[in-house]
Structure 1
């Protein structure tokens, strides 16, 4: 492609203006590079408008109300449906990205609106105009909800997380396909604001990637909140006669579930179709993700030097916003160093901590907060494992959080190294307790050293002392 065909040039072009792309762009800009970011929808992306932010905005009033009901003297709290929805609308600015665009302006990052396609080495085409990246193109296009090819499902106009987190309407009956974090969290929300909710999960339990005891606790909590759970049952057909009519989901065990809306929460697919990958010699993996090196360089891209990178969900490493932002920061720093001739620091410019396992919180009731490896994952890696468990109410602060506090904490230990490699906590308000374990895992802090990190009394952080004492320190 001739130079004269280029409409504009920047040092770096980022495709996708969600939190991951924003982080990559910000770090590259702070390195002194000129940066443009391309977005076809809302600046802020899926997380800000349809996933993390709205779902947690919806969940917080519900969880706070439940927590209040467990404390003597404040049992009268109730969930206000209209207030919950209004809070959600405020958090997503009524689907306006004006604030996010303002941040780009303040950060000195140029915004290009439209759908982007790669158009050769270091070239990006947007709505017929061709732009050049002098140093790097960073792909941060994320993923979209998966709607499987189930007979009748697509014709039934199903909800995905996008519909569920932005709907102004609360259906009387909601059937949820899937048993992962999205399914469980939204089940909590809709059960609390007036829906009769049924979860259909083809596996034998919910939250299949987490410790089984955590999944069982979440299932028990959902049932207490009135959610019906059908595990070990796969949907075989969906029927919905006419727009807005009842939805019937037939299961392979002969049962049927009838609802007013159906929410599909069975996974994600990468946004790599029509990205122009063939123009730069790149092929996706069998699931459509972009294969990358440990430095987020896209494998197979034409050119003598690395110039094409992929960060966040689109590379399939860890489909979590915070892990994608971590990749974006490391990638932006790496691109900045390479472009300006500064030394490349592998310790800070390679997101190596992903190999230690990811941290994740499921904001159900009870909450699940997990980091590092599960027991099963650790054993699969050949680690000589010891598992330590204690009830959450063994920490003095738990009883102050709720009368009859229920929960459990597990620590997975590498016996040869004497370090923690995984932890899972289940119970009310455990989300804020998990980061110390993440620090210990990433830092490979010996358990005997952790014993000297004294928790405040009477706080729930005392649970870490209880785990160490159970271990024998």
Structure 2
């Protein structure tokens, strides 16, 4: 049976980004249909943010306890892996989306389960799980919020090796005895941290010279040192050329030069690709499988009704940035639907996702944590800014010693010398993720350094590193 229905807005994808677009346009009084082919709630809820951080939280808590006098002996034992995995399951809602479906329905959006594809401008066809066929027409906008999938290299033996991706790594039912991880980005180091602590012997195979290479170099250096201290075998300059697994036994990872690593499972954390290959993009003049190119209002270039929101546009592959884009896109769609032709699309305007370029925050939940926002020193220099890096060892503040014995950490501010504002900040050390939002406010708000001098950090906290950094800048 084919049903044709018209809505103001059609949203493809019911992850956090799609949900936020839907919620925003509903607040403006627009009707909206949401199309989802898997679980409502998306990658973040079931295979990324929530389960991965549930795996990492006890790992970090135990590490903090072992740094604390009076708790060190009590925390000397092994983690209760079964309890950790049970908590992970709960945080992933046991891979059931009832709660998320209830939220979608509570805001008055109409959920369509099935695979949605464009069929020309403003039209989406949905093939449902029981053979139903829906034709949805959007009066004002279609928002593509389908996110990404793991990008796997073309390697001999990859399919037969049954390699893990991030999904298997966050939903595994037990800790493999030996886990090889290929990659050097956030997923690779977080999963190395988690599974090493949960009992796996981890071998991390990094093609480059270090990890977290898009961040300040010292961030990756601290994380690599900690992984090695925890017992992980970290090999840089390791280029994987093939995989071999026979009869369900161990997998052999073959590297350039002939070296091999044997493991019970192998995880490929080698990047992401857009979920745009089967969306009917060719029916509106776009290339299937490509990232969507959008302007700062999240509208797809060359199309006044089509929006690409969240990971699918490659601007910022993080859930919180996707939700930020969704809030802006929703407001843009609502304003244009109301006939508002004077949108605030300039830098830091209400209808421009400026933070994607200038103040994008990220926390890497390793031990030590990494928190970063804005531009690195190298990025700022490449962009033509006249900048200075201000560095401080985090052990220079009393809060570090109180946080735990043998505290190690580092902080950097990137200062725009012409405007006397911050372009970026990076903190590495236990607990430093909680320092990040103050830095994000300073960068996004372009707070002058002279005014930051009056933002007094409480003593004795890790936040006192702000005072040390500002003092170092003044003395330079």
TM norm structure 1: 0.96
Gaps of 5+ in 2: 128-132
Out of 261, 269, 273, the position equivalent to 2:273 is 269
Deviation of 1:145 after TM superposition, in Å, equals 0.6
Counterparts of 2:83 and 2:331, CA distance in 1: 42
Counterparts of 1:188 and 1:294, CA distance in 2: 36
> Which position in structure 2 is the counterpart of 1:224?
229
Query: What CA deviation, in whole Å up to 9, does each residue of 1:393-418 have, x standing for no partner?
Result: 11221111111211010111111111
1:338 aligned counterpart, secondary structure: helix
Mapped pair 1:240 → 2:238? no
1:144-223 alignment runs, 5 A limit = 144-223=149-228
Out of 279, 288, 291, the position equivalent to 2:290 is 288
2:219 aligned counterpart, secondary structure: helix
Aligned residues: 462
Counterparts of 1:293 and 1:261, CA distance in 2: 41
Counterparts of 2:359 and 2:241, CA distance in 1: 34
> Which position in structure 1 is the counterpart of 2:7?
10
> Which position in structure 2 is the counterpart of 1:27?
24
Counterparts of 1:272 and 1:147, CA distance in 2: 16
Deviation of 1:6 after TM superposition, in Å, equals 6.0
Contact 1:6 1:132 in 2 (8 A): no
> Which position in structure 2 is the counterpart of 1:315?
313
Counterparts of 2:363 and 2:385, CA distance in 1: 24
Counterparts of 1:282 and 1:260, CA distance in 2: 42
RMSD of aligned alpha carbons:
1.2
Mapped pair 1:52 → 2:56? no
Counterparts of 2:80 and 2:174, CA distance in 1: 14
Query: What CA deviation, in whole Å up to 9, does each residue of 1:144-196 have, x standing for no partner?
Result: 01111011112211111101101112110000010111000001111011100
2:253 aligned counterpart, secondary structure: strand
Deviation of 1:458 after TM superposition, in Å, equals 1.2
Contact 2:359 2:443 in 1 (8 A): no
Deviation of 1:446 after TM superposition, in Å, equals 0.8
Counterparts of 2:197 and 2:88, CA distance in 1: 15
Deviation of 1:340 after TM superposition, in Å, equals 2.0
Deviation of 1:245 after TM superposition, in Å, equals 1.2
Contact 1:388 1:411 in 2 (8 A): yes
After TM superposition, the runs of 4+ consecutive aligned structure 1 residues lying more than 4 A away are: none
Counterparts of 1:105 and 1:278, CA distance in 2: 31
Contact 2:359 2:444 in 1 (8 A): no
Counterparts of 1:437 and 1:189, CA distance in 2: 27
Deviation of 1:350 after TM superposition, in Å, equals 1.3
> Which position in structure 1 is the counterpart of 2:450?
448
Out of 121, 131, 140, the position equivalent to 2:136 is 131
Counterparts of 1:268 and 1:151, CA distance in 2: 20
> Which position in structure 1 is the counterpart of 2:335?
337
Counterparts of 1:149 and 1:155, CA distance in 2: 12
1:130 aligned counterpart, secondary structure: strand
> Which position in structure 2 is the counterpart of 1:105?
105
Counterparts of 1:9 and 1:354, CA distance in 2: 32
Out of 410, 413, 421, the position equivalent to 2:412 is 410
2:294 aligned counterpart, secondary structure: coil
Query: What CA deviation, in whole Å up to 9, does each residue of 1:116-139 have, x standing for no partner?
Result: 000111100001321111111000
